[in-house]
Structure 1
Amino acid sequence: MKTQRPNILLITSDQQHFDMLGFLNSKLQTPALDRLAREGTYFPRAYCTNPTCTPSRSSIITGQYPSWHGAWTLGTH
């Protein structure tokens, strides 16, 4: 029997604080993102590998630290 592969949607944004979603802040209305969080996976204890976006996003995609994948700073390939 063939195993069905999951659908994975990775949403990233720049400069978004953790409480800028409606399900974490009742003053905001973000129904589409709230539904994704409710029906998907929410990581309340996720930590950033680097304060800049390029190394962090590369770590998310590769599962490696910046010292392994080589994207140390902004603009590295």
Structure 2
Amino acid sequence: MKKAQQAHTGQVRSVSWDDDNGSSTKCYWDVEIQDSGGRTTDVHVDPTSGKAAVSSDSGDMHSDMNSGSGQNRNGNG
């Protein structure tokens, strides 16, 4: 988790092992980090080298799901 937090500052929200659909060559730790603004970012950590890479910035998904607006991201709902 330290490597992931060095790659992206924030609070660790979840950690999971990802074997990329059973592939033994693409295994990594998937660490979800939330910054002070509420945005979450996925950081992949290589279990062998310890290198961390920011995978994706998923935005403020937690607020979107709990907003109660009844609309999806396309404005429909």
Pairwise TM-score range, normalised by the shorter structure: under 0.3
Per the normalisation by structure 1, the TM-score is: 0.22
Q: Greater relative contact order (Cα 8 A, min sep 6): structure 1 or 2?
A: 2
Higher strand share: 2
Higher helix share: 1
State the structure with more CA Rg: 1
